[in-house]
Every structure is written in C-alpha cells, then in structure tokens.
Amino acid sequence: MKRLFVMIVAMFVFVMGNNVNGVATAAEKQNLDLAENATSAIVIERDTGEVLFEKDSDKPLPPASMTKIMTMLLIMEAIEDGELKYEDMVTVSENAASMGGSQVFLEPGEKMSVDDMLKAIAVASGNDAAVAMAEHIGGTEAEFVKKMNGKAAELGLEHTSFKNTNGLPVADHYSSAQDLAIIAKELLKHENITSYTGIYEDYLRKGTDKEFWLVNTNKLVRFYPGVDGLKTGFTQEAKYGLTATAEKDGMRVIAVVMGEPTPKNRNADITAMLDYSFSQYSTKHLYSRGDVLGEAKVTKGQDKTVQAITPEQVSILHKKGEKIDEAMTNVTLVDHLHAPIEKGDVIGQLSIEKEGETLLKTDLTAAESVESASWWELFKRTLSTFAGK
C-alpha cells in the first residue's frame, strides 16, 4: 500500500488520557450499576463500535426473536444490491403460514409486498413474515439460514449459530449480546431500516376486511426519546431480551440485554444503559457514509481509477468534558489494484492519529465496480502509449 495524501485538519478530537478515545476502562465498565437483572448485556457506540459497558457479553444464549436482526440485515442487503425491491410481491407458502408464536396471520398463497413484510417483521415480530421473506430470497428457509451463518462468519461472530430465521426454540440456535450488537451495527448501515423499526403502530392490509393492526413489541420506541429500533425477543427458554438503538445529539448507541425476567426489567435496564451512555459520552462527526477520500489507480480495468469512499459514518467517541485538540487524517490506498473490482471491495484505509497514537482506523471501499478491460481496449491503450512517445 502507498500513502496517497496526509492532511492536517482542525478536527475536534479529544485528549484520551490513558483510555483509548477516552472511554471507560474495563474496570469502570464492570463496576457500573447497570443491567443487574440481565444474564448478559452490552452497550456500544454505533460509529466506533466502542464498548461503553458490558456484562458477560460473549455468553452464548438463545436470542429468541432478536434473531430477526440478522434476517432484516440480509433483506436490506438484497434491496441495496438490487436483488429485491420494496414493491416486490412475496407469495406466502404453507410452511411460512404455519409458523406459531408471534405472527401476522399470513395465509397460504397470500401475496404481500416486501415493504409490508418488513413492517410485519420489524414491528410485530412476525415469525410467518420472516420465513416468507427467507423463502423468497433463499428459495428455502434452510438456504437462507446458510446465508445468515455465512454473514455471521463474515462479521467475525464467535458466539452465534442460527438454525432458523425467526428465533423459535431449537437446539444449537444461539447468539450473544456482543454478537447481536455487531449485527445491529451492520444493520444500521442501512439507514432506511429505522423507518420500519421506529414505527410504533401501523396496519397491514389496510382498507380491507382483513386489516391487521401492528403494535411495536419494543415499547421504548414510544416512551424513550430517540429510540427507533431494533428488536425484542421472548421465549420461555430465552426469557426477555431487547436489542435497542437510540440517537441523541448526533450520537447513536446500541444496547442489548438477554435473559431478563420480565418486560419491565428489560425496559428498565435498557433505559438505564441509554441514560448512562448519553450522559457520559459524545461523538464528533468526521465523515459521512459515502464521502470520497481519494482515487486509487486500477490496472487493466475499463476505468483507470476508482473512488475510495467511507462505507459508513466515521466519528470519534469521547468522554463529555474532555479537552479539545487537533489530529491528523491519513489516507492510504492499495498500490496495485487489478480489475475486476467489486463495489464495496476494501481498497484502502483511513486512520485518525494524534501525536503518533492511532485514535481510529477504518477501511475505505470501492465506490463502484470496475470490470476488466477487453483485450482490444488494452491493445488500443498500448498503441496510444507508443504514439505518445
């Protein structure tokens, strides 16, 4: 790799002391009086992924309907990749319609749009809708589950194994608070998802004689300012869980609890974790998703360069009240990129440094795909080079 440019920028980056980005030490995180009723818990800042508090967060536990965070992630990826559209109609199979537990009472042969299916999953936690979407994308639920586990491996999740799309009890189906937070962080890259998970009430089949009222199983969407997702979970085995996200003053956090004894305990513990996060920390926004930070040269491609962009929002996390100072932004791009290149391929790295210490490091990705140039195009370029001489 080679350094494309180094620029000194007057960014508000905060003095760290002995803690990276000024966040709490491990001891501080453990000594906080939070999530006392939960078997496992974690709260992270979304942009940086920094852990603000955790309690046995790597413990594998049944996630119940929080499984649907991964289901929704694969749906949103299919939409972003152009494989699926919100207006596409999904036909419900007998298998999908037979799902028990929380459901929206889909009928075999019924057709419903992806838009409404997402509402059914995000708001009402519809097990039937989750299976219907899995079959629509994967052909079968089993094939879709393979995609779920493949995505888990891609994200580096070490305490997650999926056996179905909806979280109904089954052997060897588990995740951890830490892994669920990572999946939620990935899901939130798709900013439109909160237009579904943030709905408190809505209707399916509106205006028909089969109109169905949806009420969000996550009551904090209504009662905690800034909460706009993501997913609750409950089975007798798992007890009560919630992966919540909230945004305040430009900072978004993700909080997860698992194994809570009651919904009241679940909501109280999440509320306390959110209160702590927003009272103690802030973020400084540096770059938005899709900002262009350079151009990398491409060998033997239809295009000779490709833009390097930030794949997600980039921010610095700091303790409230920390002193402001300046930092340096370094962008490094891959020296020899060979076509073909897929949109989203990692082609460089952004680092934020202060006095030789790295505050933040994140990948830069290709803004567009670059196909290999044909032999005729390469031949013409060679002739052009000779002609130029």
Q: Quote the CA–CA distance of 338 and 370 in Å, as a whole number.
A: 9
In 218-338, DSSP assigns E strands to 227-235, 239-248, 251-260, 281-287, 292-299, 305-309, 314-319, 324-333, 337-338
Q: Quote the CA–CA distance of 270 and 256 in Å, as a whole number.
A: 7
Asked if 299 and 337 touch (Cβ cutoff 8 Å), the reply is: yes
Q: What is the DSSP letter of 93?
A: P
Fill in the amino acid letter for 120: A
150: alpha, beta or left? (left if phi > 0; alpha if psi -120 to 50): alpha
Q: Quote the CA–CA distance of 117 and 11 in Å, as a whole number.
A: 42
Radius of gyration, CA atoms only, the chain:
23
Question: What contacts 267, CB < 8 A, 6 or more positions away?
Answer: 219, 220, 223, 242
Residue 195's nearest CA partner among 176, 213, 221 is: 221
Asked if 180 and 69 touch (Cβ cutoff 8 Å), the reply is: yes
Contacts 24+ apart (CB under 8 A), 5-8: 5/294, 5/331, 6/328, 6/329, 6/330, 6/331, 7/328, 7/329, 8/326, 8/328, 8/329
Q: Does the annotation count 195 as an active-site position?
A: no
Catalytic residue among 40, 57, 65, 175: 65
Find residue 306's DSSP bridge partners: 296
Catalytic residue among 125, 175, 176, 315: 125
Q: Does the annotation count 102 as an active-site position?
A: no
Q: Does the annotation count 125 as an active-site position?
A: yes
Residue 243's nearest CA partner among 25, 40, 28, 26 is: 40
Catalytic residue among 68, 119, 147, 239: 68
Q: How distant is the alpha carbon of residue 354 from its chain centre? A: 28
Report the catalytic residues. 65, 68, 125
